[in-house]
Amino acid sequence: MLDHQLDLFLRYLRAEKHASEHTVQQYGLDIRQFIDYMNQEGIADYSAVTVLHARSYLAKLQLRDYARRSIARKCSALRSFYIYMLRERIVNSNPFAQVQTPKLDKRLPKFLYPDEVRALLEAPDPSTPIGLRDRAIMETLYASGMRVGELVGLNVSSVDFANGVALVMGKGAKERYVPLGEYALLAIRDYLDRARPVLCKHPEERALFLNTRGGRIHDRAVRRFLDEYVAKTAELHKISPHVLRHTFATHMLEAGADLRTVQEFLGHANISTTQIYTHVTRDHLQSVYNRAHPRA
């Protein structure tokens, strides 16, 4: 019964909330962990969970040295799960609505400097189909600021070469156009001409970026090959595909783009989410000043 309700919730996230597969899987893992706790406590029904149970569960996570960010994420997943069950009249209250989420330290997003970006983009081997694909993917991520989940969802028809943009499906199934820029367009065109025909096994395949089996590439594969290129580029620290998104936003703001424009490109629902990048640029400018000015 407990697993059945969770399965229905995950199906709801996919079908109605249009959540990414990564989000769905993470919610599933976090809620199943709570189900394990319920089984240990002899709780057979979600409606039997009280605020005391919720607080006890979060306290156990703290004792097991979970990071505050992980605990906050698990709490958010369970809160959303109970909101869904309230709507479906499976439960009468949300015990996690009354639990305070751990306060998080504000972490500024990591970004790359232009020379680091250049080194990363030049790491793939352009003489191979995989190298052409990987370079096109990284050029696209940096040029557009799109999420890796949005990138793997692109189809060949998503790219408008005439206007230099791509149509992406963002969170909540919201579509938006993002810029690509000359370098990304050239890399994508090169990939389409010389690499995709080699990788494609099925003529009806619509996906833009393909894996070695000829199907749509997965976001985990993008993270994996990015790790490999970072390892080859000695001056780079460990980064994720999301760092290219952070880098896009930071470089745009440093070059004078206004916050609303960057918000639109990133697909942020609230401008407060975008404002974190203004802190990055301020800190960067301050560090440049401190290094350059003789009386800093």
Which active-site residues does the annotation give? 147, 171, 242, 245, 268, 277
CA separation for the pair 238, 10 (Å, rounded): 32
DSSP assignment letter at 167:
E
CA separation for the pair 178, 199 (Å, rounded): 26
The two three-digit tokens of residue 205, written as one number:
């395949």
What phi and psi values does residue 105 have, to the nearest 5 degrees?
Answer: -70, 135
CA separation for the pair 243, 3 (Å, rounded): 35
Contact 281, 250 (CB under 8 A): yes
Contact 136, 191 (CB under 8 A): yes
Q: In which region does residue 107 sit, left (phi positive, over 0), alpha (psi from -120 to 50) or beta (all else)?
A: beta
Contact 97, 79 (CB under 8 A): yes
CA separation for the pair 219, 209 (Å, rounded): 11
